[in-house]
Amino acid sequence: MSTFLYQIVLIPLVASPITYLAGRKLAHKTGWVAFTFLLYTTALAFLALFSIRDGMALVETYGWAQELGLSIGLRADGLSLPFVLTICILSAAISIYSIPYMKHRVGSSSREYGAYFALYLLYSAGMLGAILSTNLVEFYLFYELMLIPSYLLIAQWGYGERERIALMYFLWTHIGALALLVGIASTYTFTHSFDIYAIPSIIAGEQVSLEFLKWVSLAMFLGFFTKMAVFGLHIWLPHAHAEAPTPISALLSPAMIGIGGYATVRITFTFFPDVFEALSVYLAFWALVTIIYGGMMALAQDDIKRLLAYSSISQMGYILFGISSQNALGMSGSMFHYVSHGLGKGLLFMVAGAIILQTNGLRSIKKMGGLASKMPITTLSAI
């Protein structure tokens, strides 16, 4: 049995304390240690891609709490692999970008590099683990693991009122995660299983009222849509993305928030297709409002990072709109949009960070005229 998926998740977790210790000696060069580990996980993700043939899935299972019917299961298929590859590529690229960025932020001899890159690796591991998980307990643990290091990264190396903003980000996303936990616990009460791939058939064979399933679905929707920052649950995102360290903004916006869309398809849609069909019109309307609101707010921004943040809200609306279509073409388009948005928005946030550093903290768009001739490489990256 291959161990590609096991290593993709485990390597960043193990590398985190190693990188922290290395930071005491290597200072700003610590970033290259983190990059090496992340480059290896990216190579493994491509190997996993090449090992899958004709729509098959790559599955790895390891023993864990077997008396409770739990195991550490990891699964890569046509839905999860594009997300894994996007996260791996972004994490590796942004780790290199973080080196000069943090050097400018804290100096070349600071010991803060070890803590920064250790948390960065944990953040990446949380995203990868959530995507590859095969049971709900495992998924929830990784889903929460994304939150803790990202909160600390914003609180320690963010801008402005970073501690207040980080706390707001933590509370919003944690409340969403608690709602998700309620949905998971409720699902277990009538399925007696946490297996993501077994639960749909169990529910299909049970006589459970549609009304009850709607409430369970709504709890999960609240958890996933808070992470996606759809309209009404978006309050935290413009503040967190604007004040987070730019490398973290480049992971928050392109990679993390779209995981809510993945989980909506992988879990809510496959568990409760009847509920999804009943609510699809409302979800489509919610998505449309999110698209228009995010786009209009982006047009009104003068702060370059807030513009990109509101743009991400709008893009999550497009993903939700495709999911609400309930057909293969719409959902495939949504998942493809995650990849295109992730790579494009990651570059845009890195461009924004380069401009901010080179202009001594300038973030006002109306004061940025004439930068193309002075920063040609950055301009090309933005295009």
User: Along the 383 residues of the chain, how does pLDDT read in single tens digits?
Assistant: 578 899 999 999 999 999 999 988 888 889 999 999 999 999 999 998 888 877 788 888 877 766 666 778 899 998 899 999 999 999 999 999 999 888 888 877 777 899 999 999 999 999 999 999 999 999 999 999 999 999 999 999 988 888 999 999 999 999 999 999 999 999 999 888 888 999 999 988 877 888 888 999 999 999 999 999 999 999 999 989 888 888 998 888 888 889 999 999 999 999 999 898 899 999 999 999 999 999 999 999 998 899 999 999 999 999 999 999 988 889 899 999 999 999 999 989 988 888 888 888 788 888 887 777 778 877 777 77
What is the per-residue DSSP string for 178-221? HHHHHHHHHHHHHH---BTTTHHHHHHHS---HHHHHHHHHHHH
**Strand pairing class (71-76; 58-63):** antiparallel
What does the pLDDT read at residue 67? 64
Nearest alpha carbon to residue 61 among 45, 77, 48, 72? 72
CB 315 within 8 A of CB 63: no
DSSP string, 322-339: HHHT-SHHHHHHHHHHHH
Whether residue 127 contacts residue 144, with contact meaning beta carbons closer than 8 Å, is answered with: no
Q: What is the spatial distance between Cα 213 and Cα 235, in angstroms, rounded to a whole number?
A: 28
Of 381, 375, 379, 307, whose CA–CA distance to 343 is shortest?
381
Q: What spatial distance separates the first Cα and last Cα of the chain, rounded to whole Å? A: 44
As beta bridge partners, residue 303 has 364
Nearest to 132 by CA among 14, 211, 255, 45: 45
pLDDT for position 315: 94
DSSP 270-301: HH-HHHHHHHHHHHHHHHHHHHHHHHHHHHT-
CA distance 319 to 111: 40
H or E stretch covering 374: helix 371-374
3-state secondary structure of 359: coil
The pLDDT, as a whole number, for residue 1 is 55
> For residues 365 and 299, what is the distance between their CA atoms, to the nearest angstrom?
11
Distance (Å) of CA 276 to CA 283, 284, 324: 9, 11, 8
